[in-house]
Amino acid sequence: MWFHPLIVMSLFGGLFGAGLAYASRKFAVKTDPRVAAVLEALPGVNCGACGYPGCAGYAEAVVSGKAAPSLCAPGGAEVTEAVCAILGVTYEATEPRVAYVMCQGAPHAQQEAQYDGVASCALAALVSEGPSACKYACVMMGDCYHACPFGAISWQTGSVPVIDEAKCTACRKCIAICPKEVIALRYRSKRVLILCHSQDKGAVARKKCAVACIACTKCVQTCPVHAIRMDGNLAVLDTGVCTQCGACVKVCPTGAIRDLRPTTNEENLARAGAGIGVAAE
Amino acid sequence: MKLFRFRGGVHPPDYKALTQEVGIERLTVPRKVRVPLVQHLGVAAQAVVKKGERVLMGQLIGERHGFVSAAVHAPVSGVVTAVESVPHVSGRSVPGIEIENDGKEEWHPEIKPVRPVTREAIIAAVQAAGIVGMGGATFPTHVKLQPPEGKKIVLLILNGAECEPFLTCDYRLMVEAAERVIRGAVYLMEALGVTRCVVGIEDNKPAAIAAMRGAAAGQSGIEVESVRTHYPQGGEKQLIYALTGREVPSGGLPMDVGCVVQNVGTAAAVADAVETGRPLIERIVTVSGDAVERPGNYVVRVGTSIGDVLAAVGVDLEKCAKVIAGGPMTGLAVGNLEVPVTKGTSGILAFTEAWVKASEPAPCVRCGRCGVACPIGLNPTMLETLAMKRDVAGLQVFHAQDCIECGCCAYICPSQRTLVQAIRYGKAQIVATRKAKRN
């Protein structure tokens, strides 16, 4: 009979349909609709800067309360605000942070040897700790430039990379890759910075670099808000506390502390002959 | 005796003719020495002298700190001018002691021969003399002489292979002072409680083999074996395999296969320590390369700067393009000529521009020659890729930590890729990850 297969197939169809309908009810996984909403709000670049596997991983973590809503570096304040709105928590604005290089490099720092191997900071740092006389200095071979997913770092061979504060999202990729750990974060509006990373004793540091921190502690004593402390032979500035009064810049005998605010930046650039730390807005 | 052939390896031109027929000479002792307190693998020694103090030759200036550490002694008599950091060939600064030489060459009065020569006395003398492996790895010798419970040592191997191109310091030592080396071997056998010792020498050194055979003739239990000229024959694990057929397991030590390997220079230092009580304050250094006017083997005091050595043998620094501490295959480029000679400096090579070929690495052509040349059986091109991707888990899967950094892969690579440098970077990542996990 020609209609037998039709009946059999219809029966099978009905049976499997009923089974699927039952299974979808019985084994349903309850998902929070907020996860999808948060995922929608995130930029979707899957950079991993939040520490979770991609945006989806972070969205789940945020909704389940395992992660703070402010961890999305590329999204910044806007995304944090949106995520807070979805979660129904109050949004507190925090100032975004950006990366900067704690070294003024060439032409101030002495080069001890010439490195002619593969142009990579990580590999150059393996050969007598880098070609620079100062073993804490920027190697200037651009590993961070290649690592930056946002194109915020500009760099030329033989010079310290310049980080564009408008593009930097504080994702820390450059910090992770730098073999000398010479990159750190600062608050975006704070541009009075200690541009040295040398732990050498003062006399030694001065011999190797004209603009090194020589651990004279004058800035520590001068700072009215106690934003500067000594870490071994190096003065370290907490940009969260700094009021940018500029007192430390005036007392620093070597020029390791620099005021890179736009009003004074031009003058600074002219003096240094190279763009240090802050690119034009 | 049956000999074995280790896998891989290369045959670089040896350039030993530059220095091998030149007798060992003493180099003038400099006015000032800077003695690092880290001249060995392990924990830094602790300074026991102060600025302004007068020290005598052979006086203890750095005390051993911990078990895997070695004592450091004053290489000259004079006044301590500074206890500070001194440059190291790695590029890092290490703690060290600067001594102004008074030129009197006055030995410390307490230095006297070891009597009676017992097992304990030999180990104590080696420890007190601060002897470390003089082939270049600088592992403290007294540690090797005291294997942990349960590890039975049956064989002492003396490493006279000297497979590294340019270097001839061990060769000259064996030719000129074979008896001293053999006496050192006898003390080492006594200290280890073994009855057999094999000296492995590459067959391109017939004069050394003849001299050592002559010196060992009267001694029972010491054999001198001629091994194939094949880089890296002088690698600890390769020499053990060539002589015994035993393979040191991954992550293991020679003592796991019942062997202890000592360099011939170390044996000579042990003989000195036992017979005269003198600590290790000088060593034979091969100074060679086309920028050197008078290449040869020189007895150099520890703490002499590489710059001083080069000046003494007639190197025009204007023409010199590259200086290497050690041999060309495993040595390190020197970034600062103030770096002092240490107990592990087997050679100093200086080259002009003509010999230093800096070429751009080309892309890997997947020829697999690096894997064929690797004496450990690793896959260097894979390790390079993983290291540059910072894939620590992958590096561990591919056994990056077993790399002996012999340089065969980079030597053979037709694309001239810097494989060893990349693998060293990978090994550093593994160490950093392990450290981070522990904290």
Question: What whole-number percentage of chain B has pLDDT above 70?
Answer: 100
Please tell me which residue, A68 or B276, carries the higher pLDDT value.
B276
Angle at the Cα of A172 (from A166 to A178), degrees rounded to 5?
A: 110
The CA distances from residue B306 to A187, B199, B349, in Å, are: 46, 31, 10
Angle between helices A33-41 and A54-63 (to 10 degrees): 130
Confidence (pLDDT) at A78: 86
Q: Which residues of A touch B (CB under 8 A)?
A: 112-113, 116-118, 120, 122-123, 126-131, 133, 135, 200, 204
A127:B361 CB<8 A: no
Contacts of A127 in chain B (CB under 8 A): 91, 332-333, 335, 421
> What pLDDT, in 10s, does the model give residues A146-170?
999 889 999 988 889 999 988 888 8
Which chain A residues are Cβ-neighbours of B89 within 8 angstroms? 128
Q: Characterise B317 by phi-psi region: left (phi > 0), alpha (psi -120 to 50), beta (else).
A: alpha
Q: Is the pLDDT of residue B379 over 80?
A: yes
**A127 vs B333: CB contact, 8 Å cut-off?**
yes
Residue A263's pLDDT band (cuts 50, 70, 90)? low
Chain A residues closer than 8 Å to B361 by CB: 118
Residues from B in contact with A at Cβ < 8 Å: 85, 89-93, 332-336, 358, 361, 388, 418, 421-422, 424-425, 428
Tell me the average pLDDT across B154-160.
95
Chain A residue with the nearest C-alpha to that of B357: A116
SS3 B219: coil
Distance from CA of A127 to the nearest CA of B (A): 7
A43-52, A204-213, B314-323 — which is least confidently predicted?
A43-52
B421–A123 CB contact, under 8 Å: yes
Which three-class secondary structure state does DSSP give residue A18? helix
Distance from CA of B428 to the nearest CA of A (A): 9
Cβ(B315)–Cβ(B307) under 8 Å?
no
Residues of chain B found within 8 Å of residue A122, distances taken between Cβ atoms:
425
Dihedral angle computed from the Cα positions of residues B114, B117, B118 and B119, in that order, rounded to the nearest 10 degrees: 80
| A265 pLDDT tier (thresholds 50, 70, 90) | low
**Any idea where the domains of chain A sit in the sequence?**
33-87, 96-186, 189-281
Q: Please give the Cα distance from A107 to A268 (Å, whole number).
A: 14
Residue B148 CA to residue A253 CA, distance in Å, equals: 56
Please name the member of A117, A120, A130 whose beta carbon is closest to the beta carbon of B91: A130
Residue B91: its pLDDT value, please?
Answer: 84
Closest to A128 (Cβ–Cβ): which among B336, B418, B422?
B336
- Whole-number pLDDT of residue A171: 85
pLDDT (tens digit, 9 = 90+) per residue, B283-313?
999 999 999 999 999 999 999 999 999 999 9
Q: Which of A222, A182, A218, A169 is nearest to A43 (CA)?
A: A169
Average pLDDT value for residue range B308-325:
93
Considering chain B, tell me which residue range(s) the CATH 3.10.20.600 domain(s) occupy. 24-111+279-355
Choosing among A116, A207, A208, which should be mutated to test the B contact, i.e. which has the most B CBs within 10 A?
A: A116
Residues of chain A found within 8 Å of residue B388, distances taken between Cβ atoms: 120
Q: Would the pLDDT of B159 be above 60?
A: yes
pLDDT at A69: 86
Give the nearest chain A residue to B362 (CA atoms): A118
- CATH number for the domain formed by residue range(s) A189-281: 3.30.70.20
Judged by CB atoms closer than 8 Å, whether chains meet at B418 and A129 is answered as no
pLDDT in tens, B58-97: 999 999 988 899 999 999 999 999 998 899 888 888 999 9
Hey, how many other C-beta atoms are within 10 angstroms of the C-beta on A153?
23
Chain A contact set for B85 (CB, 8 A)? 204
> pLDDT exceeding 90 applies to what percent of chain B?
87
Nearest-CA neighbor of B35 among B340, B344, B380? B340
Instruction: Kindly indicate the confidence band of residue B257, based on its pLDDT and cuts at 50, 70 and 90.
Output: very high
Q: What is the DSSP string of B283-338?
A: EEEEEESTTBSS-EEEEEETT-BHHHHHHHTTB-TTTEEEEEES-TTT-EE-S-TT
Higher confidence at residue B116 or residue B186? B186
Q: From the CA of B367, how many Å to the nearest CA of chain A? A: 21
Which of A91-95, A97-101, A121-125, A159-163 is predicted with the least confidence, judged by mean pLDDT?
A: A91-95
CATH 3.40.50.11540 range(s) for chain B read 112-276
Percent helix / strand / coil, chain A, rounded to 5: 35, 10, 55
CATH class of B112-276: alpha beta
- Least Cα distance to A138 among A107, A168, A98, A169 occurs for A107
Q: Which of A15-19, A40-44, A229-233, B268-272 has the lowest mean pLDDT?
A: A40-44
Sole residue written with tokens 């002619």 = A116
- For residue B363, the Cα-to-chain-centroid distance in whole angstroms is 33
> For residue range B118-149, what is the model confidence (pLDDT) as tens digits?
999 999 999 999 999 998 889 999 999 999 98
- pLDDT of A271 reads 47
Contacts of A120 in chain B (CB under 8 A): 388
B335 vs A122, A123, A131: nearest CB? A131
pLDDT at residue B68 in the model: 92
A128–B334 CB contact, under 8 Å: yes
- Nearest beta carbon to residue A123 from set B93, B334, B422: B422
User: Residues of B with CB below 8 A from A146's CB?
Assistant: none
Q: Which CATH class is domain A33-87?
A: mainly alpha
Tell me which residue in A117, A120, A128 faces B335 most closely, judged by beta carbons: A128
User: B424 contacts in A (CB within 8 Å)?
Assistant: 126
Chain B: closest CA distance from residue A7 (Å): 57
Domains A33-87 and A189-281 share a fold: no
Task: Please check whether the domain covering A96-186 is classified as CATH 3.40.50.720.
Answer: no
- Mutating which of B34, B324, B418, B431 best tests the A interface, going by the most A Cβ atoms within 10 A? B418
Distance from CA of B168 to the nearest CA of A (A): 25
**Using the beta-carbon criterion (under 8 Å), do B418 and A135 form an inter-chain contact?**
no
SS (H, E, C) B22-81: CCCEECCCCCEEEEECCCCCCCCCEECCCCCCEECECCEEEECCCCCCCCEECCCCEEEE
Res. A28: pLDDT tops 70: yes
> Which has the higher per-residue pLDDT, A91 or B378?
B378
Poorest-pLDDT segment among A51-65, A84-98, B311-325: A84-98
Task: Return the pLDDT at A275.
Answer: 44
User: Chain B residue with minimal CA distance to A116?
Assistant: B358
CB within 8 Å of A234: residues ≥ 6 apart: A194, A196, A197, A198, A199, A213, A215
Q: Are B185 and B222 in contact (CB under 8 A)?
A: yes
Contact B284, B265 (CB under 8 A): yes
pLDDT the model gives residue B122: 95
Taking the C-alpha atoms of residue B169 and residue B215, their distance in angstroms, rounded to an integer, is 18
Checking A10-17 for CB contacts under 8 A at 24+ apart, the result is none
| CA–CA min distance B336, chain A (Å) | 7
Write out pLDDT tens, residues B410-435.
999 999 999 999 999 999 999 999 99
Does the distance separating the beta carbons of B424 and A128 come in below 8 Å? no
Q: What is the pTM of this model?
A: 0.85
pLDDT at A281 over 50: no
Architecture of domain B24-111+279-355: Roll (3.10)
Average pLDDT over residues B189-216: 96
CA distance A54 to chain B (A): 18
Q: Residue B334: its chain A contacts at CB < 8 A?
A: 113, 128
Residue among A198, A193, A195, A178 nearest A133 (CA): A198
Average model confidence (pLDDT) across chain B = 94
**Closest alpha carbon to A146 in A137, A135, A157, A133:** A157
Decide: B375 and B7 in contact? Cβ < 8 Å. yes
Best A112, A114, A126, A135 residue to mutate vs chain B (most B CBs within 10 Å): A126
Residue type, B285: V
The yes-or-no verdict on residue A278 having pLDDT over 80 is no
Average pLDDT, chain A: 86
Closest to A116 (Cβ–Cβ): which among B85, B335, B358?
B358
Backbone torsions φ then ψ of A165, nearest 5 degrees: -70, -15
Please determine, for residue B335, whether its predicted confidence score (pLDDT) is greater than 80: yes
Mean pLDDT of B337-348: 95
More confident residue, A106 or A263: A106
Model confidence pLDDT, tens digit, residues A197-249: 999 888 889 988 999 999 999 999 999 999 999 999 999 999 989 999 989 99
Give the whole-number percent of chain A exceeding pLDDT 90.
44
Nearest to A113 among B90, B335, B421 (CB): B335
Chain B residues with CB-CB distance to A123 below 8 A = 418, 421-422, 425
Per-residue pLDDT at A269:
53
Interface test with A, best of B34, B84, B93 (most A CBs within 10 A): B93
Nearest CA in chain A to B94: A200
Region of poorest pLDDT, from A108-117, B125-134, B217-226: A108-117
Using alpha carbons, list the distances in angstroms from residue B402 to B238, B327, B397, B423: 13, 21, 11, 10
Cβ contact, residue pair A126, B358, below 8 Å: no
Total length of chain B: 439
Query: How far is C-alpha A125 from the chain's CA centre?
Result: 21
Q: How high is the pLDDT of residue A267?
A: 55
Please say if the pLDDT value at position B192 is more than 70: yes
Q: Is the model more confident about B374 or about A73?
A: B374
The percentage of residues in chain A with a pLDDT greater than 70, rounded to a whole number, is 93
